[in-house]
Each structure stands twice: as C-alpha cells, then as structure tokens.
Amino acid sequence: MARVFNFSAGPAMLPEEVLLQAQEELPDWRGSGLCVAEMSHRGQEFVSIAEQAEADLRELLSVPDDYRVLFLQGGASSQFAMVPMNLLRGSDRAAYLNTGSWSKKAIAEAERYCTVEIAASTEEARFTRAPTQDELTLDPEAAYVHYTPNETIEGVEFPYIPETGDTPLAADMSSILLSRPTEVTRYGVIYAGAQKNLGPAGLTVVIVREDLIGQPLAGTPTMFDYATHVQSDSMYNTPPTYAWYLAGLVFRWIKRQGGLESMAVTNARKAEALYAAIDASGFYANPVELACRSRMNVPFTLADPELDRTFLTKAEATGLVALKGHRSVGGMRASIYNAMPEEGVRALIAFMQEFERKYR
Ligand code: PMP
C-alpha cells in the first residue's frame, strides 16, 4: 500500500528517508550484528548513537554549554510534574499562562505542588488567541513562569517569547520544538514529547539550565529529579533506546534539509497555503486571531458539521488521514509538522476545494 499523508497531531509522520534508513539498519546496525533495540544501553555502540543524537540536537538548536539535554521517558505529561518538583526550589508559588487545553493540564498538575498564579488567561476568548506581553501579570516572587508556546489542540501559538525578567521561563514545546529556530537562552527549561517533530513516541526531550538543577522538592521520586538524569547522562535506568536512535536519525535529516531556518521557511509556506485556502472559502473557517495562528496545527470547521463524517471518510479514501479535530473542540485539524511534505498540504487543499464544490 502507498504511504498516506498523516495529519495526526501525534504520533505524526516521520520523514520517509528516516524510515528507509531505519529499515535498512534494522537487523544489523552498521556491522554490529545487532538491531539498535537489542543493544545494551551501556555498550559502546549505543553510547555512540546517544552522543551523536545529543550533539546534533545541540547543534540544531545552538544549545549553550550551561544547558543540559536530557532524553527521558514519561512524555510531556510527566514534565507537568517534574517542572514544579525541580523548579520551585523552596518557593511555594509559580506563575502559569492559561492558553488552552495543554496549559490547563500543566496547571492542574502544578497545583498539586504549589500555589499556581494565573499570569494571564485567554479562556474567555475560548482560547482563540495568545495574551499579549502587556496582559501578563507577573509576580516577581513566583519561582518560574510556565507557558505553552503552541497549543496543539486549539491551534494557537505565541507570536513572541514572554519577557519574564529574572524569573525562569518554562516552556512546553511539544508541538513546535525543531520546527524553527528557538532562542534557548530565553528559557530556564524547555520540554517536548518527541512524537510530533522529533521522532517516535516514548522519548521526551528536556533542555534545562544547569543552575536550576539540584534543589528538588522534598519527596521527589528519584526518576523525577533532573539531577538523577544529568548525573547519569540520561542512563540512570534503561532509556528508550530505539526511540532515541530514531530521533537521532530525524535530527540528521533536519540537518540535511538545511537546519531549523530552512524548516521554518517550509513550515511557514505550508501553513500560509492552508490558511489562505481556508480564508478564501466561504465553507471552511478557523477561529484563531491571525497573528496567533499555529504553523503546526491548523484546526478548521466545515460550514455544516453534518458533513464532518463524509469529509473524513472521503479524505481517508484519498490518502489524507487523521484529520479529525480533537474531541474537545470538534471539527477538523490538520497537523503539518516537519515531516509533512508540501505535496501533502497541496493534496489536502485540492481535496478541500473539490469537497466544497461538491457539497456546499
Ligand atoms: N503538551 C502538548 C502541547 C501536547 O501537544 C501534548 C501531546 N499532544 C502533550 C503536552 C502531552 O504529551 P505526552 O503525550 O507526550 O505526555
């Protein structure tokens, strides 16, 4: 069967080149006689794979030396707890920006460990925009400020990095990390589940500034203390070796495409084309304020929701899959991460136009 264009929010498409390389290396990684999934994580072969992946990631993002890069498990959802456990550092307060479904989850988890101050919320606007810098009420006593630069479900992204003075900024970059250059030095901690732009599910990348490590909340489980993973090069226990390897192949692929600047240009082009098609029609709509529209996740509705099911069935028959919007917002959502080719977006637009002609 031919490969389809997978518009899922995650696990998402992987570059075909990466899949083919993995296929070729599957039974025998470079003459080792082993599949990467069979290797000891402490053996020379896997350690070289792990180190190369970290070096490539550091190079792609220009990660400074005083930041540690961790390859963990537990998903971004575990970071909802690890961030307060590690970043509170004796304080009982943290500030959160409430901008959508994922920040709400981060807030609910943080509330188990501290008082959460909502520095801004766009809930009243039904999460159709990001707050402006002027709207942020920042308490200098907060241990850190947490935000979600790209809300995967609502399709809202921040068009700027919040300025938080000396207060460390924590960012859930699950759905944008590696889709464009990122100024790492503006952040105390960045984390992302891998299953969108980085690789397969099962791996979580954390980039954390050194001075924030080592003062965990009392009672923090060993596995939830960043220091544990820093001291053991992310090998305190068995790491997700195969996911780490595949992510490493994705990092190399991104480098071959010209790095993050080049990813950003292609991603902007894909998003612009899709939003232009939505805006040009009287049939599809996207509710997000123009400046805050996500370049990764494009939610849209049909003029008549009764047609949703037909749209999805026909799209799938055309090889355009996983377009159903998140159950909490309904409608459609096209996630167009790095590995979604421009050809996939063009095919989606052509399908949408054809569908509109037939059914409006
Ligand atoms: N945060 C954001 C912004 C996400 O998009 C997701 C996954 N869709 C998560 C957190 C949860 O990630 P995980 O499934 O890796 O825990």
- Which atom of ligand 1 approaches the CA of 80 most closely? 10
Provide the β-strand partners of residue 169.
145
Count structural domains, the chain.
2
In a domain, 7, yes or no: no
Task: Tell me how far apart the alpha carbons of residues 284 and 336 are, in angstroms, rounded to a whole number.
Answer: 17
* 155 and 290 belong to one structural domain: no
Catalytic (active site) residue 255:
no
pTM (whole model) above 0.95: yes
Name every protein residue with a CB atom under 6 angstroms from any ligand 1 atom. Answer: 9-10, 75-77, 102, 148, 152, 172, 174-175, 193
* 158 and 231 belong to one structural domain: yes
Pocket test of ligand 1: the residue of 7, 72, 77, 154 to mutate, having most ligand atoms within 8 Å of its CB, is 77
Q: What is the CATH number of the domain that holds 285?
A: 3.90.1150.10
Which of 256, 271, 306 terminates a domain? The answer is 256
Which of 256, 273, 308 terminates a domain? The answer is 256
Task: Tell me how far apart the alpha carbons of residues 103 and 158 are, in angstroms, rounded to a whole number.
Answer: 13
Task: Tell me how far apart the alpha carbons of residues 149 and 10 are, in angstroms, rounded to a whole number.
Answer: 17
- Which atom of ligand 1 approaches the CA of 148 most closely? 3
User: In this predicted model, what pLDDT tens digit does every residue of 156-201 receive, in sequence order?
Assistant: 999 999 999 999 999 999 999 999 999 999 999 999 999 999 999 9
* 223 and 102 belong to one structural domain: yes
* 265 and 233 belong to one structural domain: no
* 42 and 164 belong to one structural domain: yes
* 28 and 73 belong to one structural domain: yes
pLDDT at 327: 87
Catalytic (active site) residue 92:
no
In a domain, 66, yes or no: yes
In a domain, 4, yes or no: no
* 251 and 291 belong to one structural domain: no
Q: Which domain does 300 fall in, by range?
A: 258-359
Q: Is the Cα torsion angle 324, 328, 334, 340 positive or negative in sign?
A: negative
pLDDT at 328: 85
Residues 6+ apart with CB under 8 A from 340: 5, 6, 7, 12, 13, 270
Q: What is the CATH number of the domain that holds 181?
A: 3.40.640.10
In a domain, 9, yes or no: no
Catalytic (active site) residue 244:
no
pLDDT at 360: 86
Pocket test of ligand 1: the residue of 79, 152, 176, 328 to mutate, having most ligand atoms within 8 Å of its CB, is 152
pLDDT at 159: 98
In a domain, 1, yes or no: no
Give the rounded distance of the alpha carbon of 318 from its chain centre: 27
Mean of per-residue pLDDT scores for the chain: 97
pLDDT less than 70: residues of the chain: 1
> What amino acid occupies position 127?
F
* 251 and 262 belong to one structural domain: no
* 299 and 159 belong to one structural domain: no
In a domain, 5, yes or no: no
* 62 and 39 belong to one structural domain: yes
* 168 and 287 belong to one structural domain: no
pLDDT at 329: 86
User: In this predicted model, what pLDDT tens digit does every residue of 300-312 receive, in sequence order?
Assistant: 999 999 999 999 9
Nearest residue (CA) to ligand 1, atom 6: 174
pLDDT at 1: 62
In a domain, 99, yes or no: yes
Quick one: which H or E segment has residue 334? strand 332-335
In a domain, 12, yes or no: no
* 166 and 312 belong to one structural domain: no
Which of 210, 238, 256 terminates a domain? The answer is 256
Provide the β-strand partners of residue 6.
321
Quick one: which H or E segment has residue 116? strand 115-121
